[in-house]
Amino acid sequence: MSAVTYLSENEETLALYTTAITRAHGDHHPEVFEVKKVYSELSDKIAKQGEKANLKPEFKELRKLTDDFSIPADACLTMKNTYEMLAEAAQLNN
């Protein structure tokens, strides 16, 4: 499975999760706002370019923002799942 397929199949969940973590963790983890922004950029790129989309820049930025998808000690289950799903998509993109 490609990263594009994985992200397309999980688009609804990730859109919900990335919004939820900004509300739940935004005060203590301001990086989640950037994670949501970069995820939105990924979604837009996939919608416009499909399988031809080059997602490497966005995944590079997500790795930087999340310290390579490290889950903070105070993360809720939604944040943990969000980071794990984005990490899986990034792995599929290699």
Q: How many domains does the chain have?
A: 1
Which residue range forms the structural domain that includes residue 57?
A: 3-92
pTM of the model: 0.93
> pLDDT tens digit string along 19-75?
999 999 989 999 999 999 999 999 999 999 999 999 999 999 999 999 999 999 999
pLDDT of residue 60: 96
DSSP state of 1: -
51-81: string of b/e by CB count within 10 Å (b at 16+)?
eebebeebbebbeebbeebeebeebeebbeb
Distances (CA, A) of 21 to 35, 50, 54: 10, 27, 26
Query: What one-letter code names the amino acid at 26?
Result: G
